[in-house]
Amino acid sequence: RLKEAKALYEKILTRVPSHAEASYNLALLLEDEGNIDSAVQFYRRFVKMGAISHPSLASKVRNRLQALE
């Protein structure tokens, strides 16, 4: 199911690159897989696009980015 979810998020981002939630969820999956560099990339995208619509989560993601970098 994780492979299906990952493929879905990638498909969404191909069609709508500014989709903040898909970026965040894909980052979570990538981090879980141990693909930290890619996870960081998608966490950054989420913060850039989701800061206004999801300020609390964006703050948590910024903290997570600091821990990963």
Among candidate residues 14, 63, 68, 5, the one with its CA nearest the CA of residue 36? 68
Distance CA 22, CA 43 (A): 10
* Residues 29-43: tens digit of each pLDDT: 999 999 999 999 999
Q: Provide the whole-model pTM.
A: 0.91
Among candidate residues 52, 56, 53, 68, the one with its CA nearest the CA of residue 42? 68
Mean pLDDT of 43-69: 92
CATH of domain 2-68: 1.25.40.10
* Distance, first Cα to last Cα, the chain: 28
